[in-house]
Amino acid sequence: MFWDQKIETIERTALEALQLMRLQATVSRVACKVPRYQQKLADCGTKPSDIRSLADVQRLPFTSNSDLRDAYPAGLLAIAPDEVLRLHTSSGTTGKPKALFFSANDVNNAAELVARCLVMTGVTRRDVLQNMMTYGLFTGALVMHYGAEKVGCLVIPAGPGNSEKQLLLMQDFRTTIVHVTPSYALYLADFMEKKGVDPRKDLALRKAFVGAEPYTEETRRKIEEALGIDVYNSYGMSEMNGPGVAFECEHKCGMHLWEDNYLLEIVDPQTGKPLPDGQTGELVLTTLCREAMPLLRYRTRDITSIIPGPCPCGRTHRRLHRITGRTDDMLIVRGVNIYPQQIERVLMSLPSVGRNYQIVLEGLDEMTINVELAEAGFDGHVEHLTRLQSEITDRLRAEILTKPKVHLVPPGTLPVSEGKAKRVIDSRSL
Ligand code: AMP
Ligand code: ZN
């Protein structure tokens, strides 16, 4: 089944011609509207008229995470402020988020891409989609929501957590699809088992769209077996609209990336040089249709490769291998991006906290922060410790938007490593 068969199965030569036209328009647009890009283009000596073939993309400057942070709030905006229809943000390392703007066409286009993804897995207007991603400033929930509405599904804006209520909604409204993080999908499966609910018999669930954080093929199978459903890998990021960038089709053999909207490169993360199809490197994307905030050669920091060859479904847009890791230290916990530096900043601002700390991730996305007390941090009063512990928890929650467990330990008891500190212990079973 296709949402937009013509574009989804477009011949490669026609697709590449379309890409080139859109790339040229995008470069001209930022060169004329965005002073930051004017500067960056000047720095690498490239003019819009230099882009004569797709290979010329390499003459364009990269855009990094820090470009977006430095441009906060509106330094990368390419349309008049009153033409902006929606704002989303994504967390950054310095407490300043990254601002992402959408025009009316951008909002519509993002929903179109999600609609393609959903229909590609067999979704129809008869489906009921329970959206368990976080609503609010994040793109994850809203962009999926609009896409599923475009297909005509009944969309339940459940948000994450509160498993009791999730289950009730699933039972009462005969939910057929859930949009969920891998960790929460596994948690839900456990929860149902404890409640004596057999999803195969008691629910109408058929599919899950699982993404927002890395997970393995084993985790996919585990979720599929536990819930008796098909799991489709869903990849996206706020900088590129959120969900709907790349998605698996019915064959579940890699994620088709919508190349009419995104120009795709895989580069060597160290040198930035392009790698051929099949080789593993960092995914770099250029938006081809964005109006409000076009991005040139955005370094996603996600490690993947292009799966060579055609897909049996007939779509001509190339497929990405499951994301195997990241080039930076961003952690994704319960679908939320967290940089260890955010945690460090909060801890180190408190005089009662010592020098060392450790972030432990285990089980199904449980986060514990072990915090050493300062030498003078403990005066023998247990109630002071309890107060400090809840103060740290509250401050961390305000910073990273998820509540960790905080464990206070005496000074000098956490391991000290030689060289680069190993602050994060990630033994999650995802
Ligand atoms: P955000 O900007 O909050 O939407 O987070 C985007 C990041 O989440 C991506 O750059 C990836 O690192 C990660 N991510 C999203 N979907 C997936 C997926 N299906 N598999 C692995 N990582 C993912
Ligand atoms: Zn396919």
Parallel/antiparallel/unpaired status of strands 230-237 and 207-211: parallel
pLDDT digits (tens, 9 = 90+) for 131-161: 999 899 999 999 999 999 999 999 999 998 8
Q: What is the Cβ-side half-sphere exposure of residue 73, based on CA atoms within 13 angstroms? A: 3
pLDDT digits (tens, 9 = 90+) for 230-289: 999 999 999 999 999 999 999 999 999 999 999 999 999 989 999 999 999 999 999 999
The whole-angstrom separation of Cα 224 and Cα 178 is 12
Residue nearest to atom 12 of ligand 1 (CA): 302
pLDDT digits (tens, 9 = 90+) for 2-43: 999 999 999 999 999 999 999 999 999 999 999 999 999 999
Q: Which among 327, 323, 244 has a CA at the least distance from the CA of 290?
A: 244
The whole-angstrom separation of Cα 403 and Cα 394 is 8
By CB atoms closer than 10 A (0-12, 13-18, 19+), residue 70 is middle
Q: According to DSSP H, which parts of 34-181 are helical?
A: 35-43, 65-70, 104-120, 139-151, 163-172
Choose which residue among 90, 184, 235 to substitute to test ligand 1 binding: the one with the highest number of ligand atoms within 8 A of its C-beta. Answer: 235
Mean pLDDT of the chain: 93
Cβ contacts of 198 within 8 Å, gap of 6 or more: 192
Choose which residue among 88, 231, 237 to substitute to test ligand 1 binding: the one with the highest number of ligand atoms within 8 A of its C-beta. Answer: 237
Distance from Cα 254 to the centre of ligand 2, integer Å: 8
pTM of the prediction?
0.87
In this predicted structure, the answer to whether residue 406 has a pLDDT above a threshold of 80 is yes
Q: Residue 420: its pLDDT value, please?
A: 52
At residue 79 the predicted structure's pLDDT band, cuts being 50, 70 and 90, is very high
Angle CA(143)–CA(145)–CA(193) in degrees, nearest 5? Answer: 115
Distance from Cα 378 to the centre of ligand 1, integer Å: 40
